[in-house]
C-alpha cells in the first residue's frame, strides 16, 4: 500500500510539472518589456472624448512602464487628465523604438487642456484655407 501511494504521489508531481511547463510556454513576456520601457498603447476598449472612434488615433503616445504587475500585465504612467485604469495587458502594448536618425524624430502633440470636461487645443497657425 505504501509503495503504491508513493508511486501515485510521484506521478502526480510529475504531471503537475508537465502542466506548468506547457502553460508557461504561452505565458511569457513575448515582447521582452521591462520597467521604464516606453510603449505605445492601442486604442482598443479606450473611450475618450473623441467625436468618432474612426477618426481617433490607432495608438496613443509613448507611455513609460512603471510596474510589472504579473504575467502579461503592466502598469503605465498615464497622462494626468486620463480617467482610466492604468494597468494593461501586454497585447495592447507595443514597444516604442526610438528613431535612428534625427530627421525621423517627430515632436509629440502636447496633451489637450481639459476645461469643463472638454478638450481644448491651442492653434499655432493656419496653414491653408478655402474661400
Q: Where are the domains of the chain?
A: 31-120
Domain spanning 31-120, CATH architecture: Roll (2.30)
pLDDT digits 0-9 by tens, 78-94: 887 777 888 998 888 98
Longest CA–CA separation in the chain, Å: 96
pLDDT digits 0-9 by tens, 1-13: 888 899 999 999 9
φ, ψ dihedrals at 128, nearest 5°: -140, 155
Which pTM was predicted? 0.58
Q: What is the rounded CA–CA span in Å between residue 7 and residue 14?
A: 11
pLDDT digits 0-9 by tens, 70-80: 777 899 998 87
**What average pLDDT does this structure show over 26-48?**
80
Q: What is the rounded CA–CA span in Å between residue 84 and residue 67?
A: 17
Where does residue 116 fall: left (phi above 0), alpha (psi -120 to 50 degrees), or beta otherwise? left
Amino acid at each position: 500500500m505504501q509503495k503504491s501511494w508513493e508511486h501515485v504521489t510521484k506521478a502526480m508531481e510529475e504531471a503537475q510539472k508537465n502542466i506548468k511547463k506547457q502553460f508557461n510556454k504561452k505565458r511569457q513576456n513575448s515582447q521582452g518589456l521591462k520597467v521604464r520601457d516606453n510603449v505605445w498603447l492601442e486604442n482598443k476598449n479606450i473611450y475618450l472624448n473623441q467625436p468618432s472612434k474612426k477618426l481617433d488615433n490607432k495608438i496613443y503616445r509613448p507611455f513609460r512602464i512603471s510596474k510589472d504587475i504579473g504575467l502579461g500585465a503592466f502598469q503605465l504612467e498615464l497622462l494626468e487628465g486620463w480617467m482610466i485604469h492604468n494597468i494593461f495587458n501586454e497585447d495592447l502594448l507595443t514597444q516604442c523604438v526610438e528613431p535612428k536618425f534625427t530627421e525621423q524624430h517627430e515632436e509629440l502633440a502636447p496633451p489637450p487642456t481639459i476645461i469643463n470636461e472638454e478638450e481644448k487645443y491651442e492653434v499655432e497657425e493656419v496653414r491653408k484655407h478655402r474661400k
